[in-house]
Chains A and B, each alone.
Chain A
């Protein structure tokens, strides 16, 4: 190391201040260790969120767009996803993806951790639902999850506060599901249905997906991070980590990063925790290749960057004769797990959940209507618009994506970020199993909307700009030959390197992963604390 700027060492260095970094930081804070989190983005100002302005819909496509390639803000790094039908969505800043997520907060199901045993595909996880259950519950309390107890699709779990209202949309679709005899339930949502821990209740802004100005949605900048900082955890923003440094004894010694002025700095640490999501973590590990680790750090298995799973989405949307909720109300409010578990009658294994959706604002109604062929240019525009606006609703299916080695994150040979760090390149194909699952979800979704009385039903599968869920690229397992981290999140190769984000997922389940990502982060933190005296053995 011939660089000159070297910071004072810390005990724990966390890279990434999103969903998992916040949870692990908060949990470790009670150790009184010196904990530092490096975050490439910044704190958000709620006064800048789109819903505060008259141009709220237009601003969804600007600084709070879901694609890092479109945003191209200083906090962002480019992602080459040309070789994937599903494009990456993320947010870089304190809070990470939780700034823009809709707050749909399902847990994975017990069967998700046993797919090899139950269905003969992929691999079982080295941990199970029971292992994570107390951490799911803890995370629900820290997050403030609105839910209705008694969902027959899950083992019993407690609700922190009452569920969000279904609105007219939920009532119409719930009645249709009842008519079909299919499961539905109000979603577990990371959105306050009442004041909670100093955060206000939801006022139905309908803008959960682009930053919640009300603070009712539990992004980690206003939940975990506030608690962690009060416990003296430091968050250092606008610091982009380029690589992890190692010593001759194959231990991590800290991380190199570029500070806000573009200066390269070394941050020494006793423990390094990766919390950069399923793209960012393999990117840094691969960029940390050295003489000691020629294939990238923690990559003796060759699995770093492989097994990328996205959750392919299908969309089914219809037009109703009666007014629905339109742009008002939380974006998520109701799910169905009817087709979640493997059914031998299907031509695919595993399954999916439905996340029901309300309508959209006038701009999105118009743009979608034109794209769907329902809204003409010219004379007929106004009448057609009025038949769509406030009259649409539907669902998306979230399909389980099974791990495949060919779906992966590598380093792009040309593309670099503003600091000159090689950018990630995504290679991804839909499997036959996933395609069949998507087709099934479109067909059943269409049945649901028809049963609800909808017309002009449109479908899209897979949704392109829906690569929110980034999983599997540093998988967990007990065998160092086939996995990157062990059953408690520690790298097999580097004994003081941990990973707590969606990279460690062995399989994806068919639900939004944030609840599970955070439960795993809390579980790994708990393991670190329990094993602190022989952590590196």
Chain B
């Protein structure tokens, strides 16, 4: 959701400035900006602000994971060279896919509701309700071969 919200330095969910810095770094590696597709990266200010304020029930697990990532980086992931960051994150994903899945969920939930991203993938920027969507009508003659094969159920009397 594109909005005028600025990126915060202290998240309302309780993330510290250091954790937010780490989150921005990880998000940028996970989904980088693309000129080809005309989309921002997940480390975009607006998307990151959305991410920070809406981790929901994953907030505590997210914060703990970000602290672990920083610890594994020797203090600050963001302080490392980009190639080293990628290497470290790849290793952690391979070793602990379930733990990193929390990060992926938090990042994707914010990224894939941004207006710019939705426009890029051909999706209207609106909730499903109340307009809904259209499906094509069905030609039920597709079932003719099934009908021709006869009963399938097993009598039990």
Instruction: Tell me the A residues contacting B by CB distance below 8 Å.
Output: 49, 51-58, 61-62, 65, 70, 72, 109-111, 113-114, 117-118, 128-130, 148, 150, 152-155, 163, 165-168, 170-171, 174-175, 177-178, 181, 183-186, 202-207, 213-214, 325, 327-329, 337-338, 340-342, 361-363, 365-367, 370-371, 377-379, 381-382, 385-386, 389-390
Contacts and interface: CB of A to CB of B under 8 A. Distances in A.
A111 B145 contact: no
B80 interface: no
Interface residues of B, number: 62
Contact of A175 (B118, B137, B142): B142
B133 A363 contact: no
Given A61-B57, A362-B123, A55 B153 contact: no
Contact of B136 (A167, A202, A378): A167
B116 interface: no
B149 A183 contact: yes
Given A52-B127, A206-B128, A118 B154 contact: yes
6 contacts: A110-B153, A154-B153, A155-B153, A181-B149, A337-B152, A379-B32
Interface string B17-56: 0000000000001111010110100000000000000101
Given A174-B143, A366-B104, 15 more contacts: A128-B156, A152-B151, A167-B138, A178-B142, A178-B146, A185-B146, A214-B129, A329-B133, A338-B152, A361-B112, A362-B112, A362-B113, A366-B112, A377-B31, A377-B90
A174 B155 CA distance: 26
A49 B129 contact: yes
State the majority secondary structure of interface residues on B.
Answer: loop
State the majority secondary structure of interface residues on A.
Answer: loop
B153 A205 contact: no
B105 interface: yes
B32 A378 contact: yes
Interface of B: 1, 29-32, 34, 36-37, 39, 54, 56-58, 86, 89-90, 93, 97, 101, 104-105, 108-113, 117-118, 121-123, 125-140, 142-143, 145-147, 149-157
Contacts of B32: 378-379, 381
A51 B134 contact: no
B54 A152 contact: no
Nearest to A328: B133
B80 to A, nearest CB: 16
